[in-house]
Structure 1
């Protein structure tokens, strides 16, 4: 990496959380890009060390193994993410639930290596006994969490967004005037580019890898100290007996969301909330999700499959963030 020149845009990238991250930055002359890269990676590594169920010694994995009745200490970052997760769980009436881990594993979308297949109704009922965000009890200002027995947290639907926020905050603290950080599709932008313009990002329009790029009109968002996240079923799913099963599990039923929207995009003040709400609205379904988002002034866009092709709907709050 070369030293940055005055008023220049620099680009960095790497890998974390099973995906790729990138950062575009408006940096001052002489900025040490190596140090900035290392700092971003360190922030993302911290999220992995605390919240990855694929890491045996992560805080979330240790919590899964903790004996019933024990109180487990939470790092500050973990506690902050759980605060947001429980906030969205309550506001969405359980459409988002950080205790969905047993059900995610049961359907084969988790870290346990369970094959992807339809489990029996008895197995679903048993897994649901260990889920439910209302079972979570905390003390010491949220820094200790009770393991009531068998609870498996899953923060996969919020951790990448939080990682983008953490990386952006790190860059801001290091004097970077403006940055656009992406972690696996979850994006956080702040500040202005060298030309004085805010960051603009193209919203995902393809429902499937093979879909025509012009099937829906391109949508460009203006991210002026905002974040955007997209949830959908094109990334992880399986088919059995002619039916598609998405990786998005409805915690309220214990089964994958039926006829899930192809994509749900949410704009919010931070990527953590955008990430969580994109999942919650996906669980609700396109019609109910749109009604909820409109009633609660959420900036959301839905892409649904219909017999005539893809159908796009969006809230007024989302339209307000579109580039003119």
Structure 2
């Protein structure tokens, strides 16, 4: 039977990190739990050195993201902003401002398909820190949440590292902070002189360099939704690239025979409900890949594919009931197929 795998190779292979590792180097791994999911780092380490010794630095980066950007932590910088009085300018840590500024820029670019200020809707549907729902919220409650859940109501002052709480806005960075955490861990490894690594947090990945046998960090994008026929993975060689996925299968609840996804369309206030079931994006920044995957999924089958094509975003579109080997690719991703 013909191998249906599709292999993705970056078009611009940066030379940094592609040198053959020193004799005796091995791939080592550390991992743990963070942000309600798992994390792992695989890295090529010279003989006589230990990746475990870098664990404190890695966990320090993960803890910083939680301390600043978690809505599950009442004392986080983000939670303090959400609880701030209406009309107050709140100082924000530099790292939080960086993520929020990126998210707000994407909100403007997608006309609200991605919206960091949609936390009230996320909570209303039971996908935030509050208890999960057994039934969908009422239409009046959704209308009320939509009214306060808009990126356009939030004003940022990046130079002054502060943001205006207009009243009722609940920021939620769950669609971008995990990718930012991947980037921070990668930067930490590089600062420590580690040239070849694969960082993963809850399925979001960033890779650089090659292993001792000179093979790249291969990542298989297995079918994450029910398919028919084959379910062959798409294989990506991660060097200088990040990959992030968003899907309507990750957190759901069912009521009256209907399935409700955790991916909310901030423009309507309702979970996405289309044939398009998952989107995977490649980008140098895992933070941006993370946010783009969510935005494109919310945009939907036609608008999402058009958006990715127009902006040259390497994207894979997953459809429930379609063989994974037949999932459409954006032109930018198709150009990488070997």
SS in 1 for 2:276: coil
In 2, the alpha carbon distance for the partners of 1:231 and 1:97 equals: 15
Q: In the alignment, does 2:234 pair up with 1:219?
A: yes
2:246 to 199, 216, 231: 231
Structure 1 residue aligned with 2:159: 141
1:27 touches 1:177 (CA, 8 Å); kept in 2? no
1:207 alignment partner, SS class:
coil
Work out which of the residue numbers 56, 64, 67 in structure 2 matches 1:49.
67
> 1:260: how far off?
5.5
2:43 is aligned to: 25
Aligned to 1:187: 205
Question: Are the structure 2 counterparts of residues 39 and 320 from structure 1 closer, same or farther at C-alpha, using a change threshold of 3 Å?
Answer: farther
In the alignment of these two chains, the number of paired residues is: 316
Verify: 1:86 aligned to 2:101, yes or no: no
Distance 1:215 1:181 in 2: 29
Indicate the residue corresponding to 1:103 in structure 2: 121
Question: After superposition, what is the alpha-carbon deviation per residue over 1:3-49, rounded to whole angstroms, capped at 9, x for unaligned?
Answer: x9942111111110000001110122333423211211111111011
- Structure 1 stretches lacking a partner, 5+ long: none
Change (3 A) 1:114 1:198: closer
1:164-208 CA deviation, whole Å, 9 max, x = no partner? 110011001001111100000000111222233332110131315
The answer to whether the Cα contact below 8 Å between 1:13 and 1:21 also exists between their aligned partners in 2 is yes
Q: Distance in 1 between matches of 2:35 and 2:212?
A: 31
CA contact (8 A) 1:222 1:321 kept: no
Q: Please tell me whether the aligned partners of residues 250 and 257 of structure 1 are also in contact (alpha carbons under 8 angstroms).
A: yes
**Residue 252 (1) aligns with residue 267 (2):** yes
Q: Aligned-pair distance for 1:320?
A: 3.3
Q: Which has the higher contact order (CA 8 A, sep 6+)?
A: 2
8 Å Cα contact 1:24/1:181 also seen in 2: yes
Give the aligned partner of residue 317 of structure 1. 332
2-side partners of 1:140 and 1:269: how far apart? Answer: 23
Partner of 2:131: 113
8 Å CA contact 1:106–1:114 kept in 2: the answer is no
What is the TM-score when the length of structure 1 is the normalising length?
0.92
* Alpha-carbon distance change, 80 to 204 in structure 1, aligned in 2, over 3 angstroms: farther
RMSD value over aligned CA atoms? 1.9
Q: Secondary structure at the match of 1:188?
A: strand
* 1:272 and 2:287 correspond: yes
SS in 1 for 2:215: coil
Equivalent residue number for residue 164 of structure 1? 182
Shift of 1:88: 1.2
Counterpart CA distance in 2 for 1:54 and 1:260 is: 31
Instruction: Look up the SS of the partner of 1:222 in the other structure.
Output: strand
Q: Deviations over 1:129-183 (max 9, x none)?
A: 2111111112251510111101100000111111111001100100111110000
Runs of 4+ in structure 1 over 3 Å off: 308-311
Give the deviation of 1:117 after TM superposition. 2.3
Q: 1:66 to 1:303 in 2, by over 3 A?
A: same
Q: Distance in 2 between matches of 1:67 and 1:6?
A: 58
Deviation at 1:113, TM superposition (A): 1.8
TM-score by length of 2: 0.88
Report the CA distance shift for 1:204/1:87 in structure 2 as closer, same or farther (over 3 A).
farther
2:177 is equivalent to residue 154 of structure 1? no
2:215 paired residue among 190, 197, 200:
197
Spell out, residue by residue over 1:88-119, the C-alpha distance to the aligned partner (whole angstroms, 9 max, x if none): 11111110000010000111111122524211
Give the 3 Å change call, closer, same or farther, for CA 309–240 of structure 1 in structure 2. Answer: farther
The structure 2 residue matched to 1:305, chosen from 308, 315, 320, is 320
